[in-house]
Amino acid sequence: MGIDVLLGLLGGLALFLYGMQMTSSGLEAAAGDKMKSVLERLTANRFMGVLVGAVITAVIQSSSATTVMVVGFVNAGMMTLNQAVWIIMGANIGTTITGILVSLDMGAVAPLFAFVGVVLMVFVKKQKVQHIGQILAGLGVLFIGMDMMSSAMSPLRESETFIRLVSNFSNPVVGILVGAAFTAVIQSSAAAVGIVQTLAAARVIPFSSAAFVLFGTNIGTCITALLASAGTNRNAKRATLIHLLFNVIGTALFTALILVLPITELIEATFQAPKAQIAAMHTSFNIGTTLLLLPLGNYLAKLAVRILPDRAEPVSEQGEGTMHLAYLTPVPPSGKEGGLGVSAIVVDQLRHELNRMLSMARDNVAESFQAVLARDMAQLEAVEEQEEYIDFLNKEISRYVSHLISIETNEQGSAVVSSFFAISGNIERIGDHADNLAGYTRLLVGKNVSFSETAQGEIRAMRDISLEAISALLNHQAGQPDWLVDVAQLEQRIDDMTAQFRRGQLERMRRGTCSEEACILYAELLTDFERIGDHVLNIAQELTKVQTHL
């Protein structure tokens, strides 16, 4: 293989992959939220599940992204394993759309697609039009890359070395392994199928051998979901296993059929263009496997449970007694996974994790006021320990959100994730003020200071309205406009109460009924109380923003 051929092949491959990435990103940005919403509202109907999985995958051009979403929804308890089966089957049908598009052989008009797309992206300010431009430009670049690869590989038809290498693909096992390995590396079965179509179109690989490589690409695409299932619960891992079983069973079945029936000859006789032949085989594989396994979907789920049975995890793995994320999988150091799948599954998980963190902060506020009233050092220590947990959650959630912001291509999705980041920070600040409040207990005990009955009554009133305000954030109506008005009124009551109690304190100071140490501590306590109200209102405003974007 000469250097010119190699450079042409690599350049064409780069354009092809980049064009596919542009198209997928544009489609996700234009319709990602709708796709997520449809998937979340899936019913248990198997036919509807297959249809939804196929449509979503056809739109976002990635069965891997759909499967990753499914794994995340199963992990969050938002989807049952049986529902996941139908979505995964549909995803395998939807992924054939790319091969069909490529088979249309639009290389002649590809530059026009790219030009129109770039014009829309650069000169039109309307964001939706820019997304359409990105889709068109991506398709143009994709087809230009395919033409470039096809031209670069044409001389290989005369290379005896390459012909001997490719002839090994006629061995089913070798062809399947090559297809699986290549797809696992580039993590895109659609791209792998496109490359197989290019090889076939350049006449450097016969259709009979390309079919086995094609089957292998269906197995290799499972690698993305396998990576996404790392650290998830048992059911999520089973969803990934179902995806793998589907493609392994389909590969075994179609390999056997090709060896005993003239399927390749029939397709070659029906479709003259090599790209169309590959697309036809790919479509037949996925639709045929789905039709075969559709009646057996529940048994497929049971098989996954049998292969990965429930097990009693050690306490340390469950995180009991240690600081841990209950709903989110910690972001791995590599941070390489991303895309629609990750950003789609995490919204509800983040909401659950933030509600858990907020509940801890509310408990700490209650404990801190009680520690001051009772001058209880044991309660102070409990608050300080819980505060460390809240800080831990804020750090982990912030890392997660920072990662999501870097991969989210949809503007509304980015806005939601940014609001979650702000909410986490405000909850952490509520925890800090609770810690400050509890810390006054150490000074009260150390200096043998006590508050008057009047001051203690006011502290109880502060505690009650603080807890009422924080609890409102956990209300199921959180984010609605009327709800925000109610929270704002609670925050105003906190401000009014703070001003009223400060006036009362000044009056007690004038009468000489308040000691110097007690007055200083009470003034600090009022400041923390008022700040809690401010952060509650901040959180409520961010939750309202989230609601408008979902």
What confidence tier does 315 reach under pLDDT thresholds 50, 70, 90? very low
| Per-residue confidence (pLDDT) for residue 28, from 0 to 100 | 62
In the predicted model, is pLDDT for residue 21 greater than 80? no
| Domain endpoint, select from 261, 290, 307 | 307
Q: Which of 307, 332, 350 is the last residue of a domain?
A: 307
CA max distance for the chain = 105
Q: Structural domain tally of the chain?
A: 2
| Same domain flag for 417 and 534 | yes
**Domain ranges, residue 281:** 3-307
Considering the domain architecture, whether residues 355 and 489 belong to the same structural domain is answered as yes
Mean pLDDT calculated for residue range 439-449:
90
Quick one: 122 and 228 in the same domain? yes
Q: Provide the pLDDT confidence category of residue 489 given band limits of 50, 70 and 90.
A: very high
Of residues 294 and 72, more confidently modeled: 294
Residues 464 and 529 in one domain: yes
Q: What is the mean pLDDT of residues 243-258?
A: 91
Are 293 and 358 part of one and the same domain? no
Asked whether residue 366 falls in the same domain as residue 501, the answer is yes
DSSP character at residue 78: S
Say whether pTM exceeds 0.85. Answer: no
pLDDT in tens, 371-387: 999 999 999 999 999 99
CA distance 126 to 137: 16
* Residue 327 resides in a domain: no
Q: Is the pLDDT of residue 157 over 80?
A: no
Decide: 458 and 393 in contact? Cβ < 8 Å: no
Same domain, 388 and 277: no
Any domain includes 316:
no
Whole-number pLDDT of residue 332:
43
Q: Convert the pLDDT of each residue in 395-413 to its tens digit.
A: 999 888 887 776 655 666 6
User: Does any domain span residue 83?
Assistant: yes
For the cut 70, the answer to whether the pLDDT of residue 389 exceeds it is yes
Residue 322 lies in a domain: no
Is 150 within the bounds of a domain? yes
Shared-domain flag, residues 431 and 504: yes
Which of 2-6, 108-112, 181-185, 251-255: highest mean pLDDT? 251-255
Residue 333 lies in a domain: no
Q: Are residues 358 and 249 in the same domain?
A: no
Residue whose C-alpha is closest to residue 60's, from 34, 89, 41: 34
Determine contact, residues 244/180, Cβ cutoff 8 Å.
no
Q: How many other C-beta atoms can be found within 10 angstroms of the C-beta atom of residue 495?
A: 13
pLDDT tens digits, residue range 517-536?
888 899 999 999 999 999 99
* Distance separating alpha carbons of residues 246 and 67, to the nearest angstrom: 12
pLDDT of residue 187: 66
Dist CA 238 CA 83 (whole Å): 12
Could you tell me what percent of the chain has a pLDDT over 90?
28
Average pLDDT over residues 95-111: 73
Last residue of a domain, one of 284, 307, 330: 307
Q: Are residues 352 and 264 part of one domain?
A: no
Between residues 106 and 149, which one has the greater pLDDT?
Answer: 149
Please check the confidence at residue 128 and state whether its pLDDT lies above 90. Answer: no
124 and 24: one domain?
A: yes
Task: Say if 78 falls within a structural domain.
Answer: yes
- Per residue in 85-102, pLDDT (tens digit) is 888 888 888 878 777 776
Q: Which of 87-96, 218-227, 479-488, 514-523 has the lowest mean pLDDT?
A: 218-227
Q: What is the pLDDT of residues 169-183, one digit of tens each?
A: 778 888 899 888 888
**What is the reported pLDDT for 317?**
41
pLDDT, residue 450, reads 87
Range with the poorest average pLDDT among 282-291, 297-306, 340-349: 340-349
Counting other chains too, the contacts that 264-267 makes at CB distance below 8 Å and 24 or more residues apart are 264/207, 264/208, 264/211, 267/207
Average of per-residue pLDDT across 63-77: 70
Q: Are residues 233 and 346 in the same domain?
A: no
pLDDT of residue 434: 95
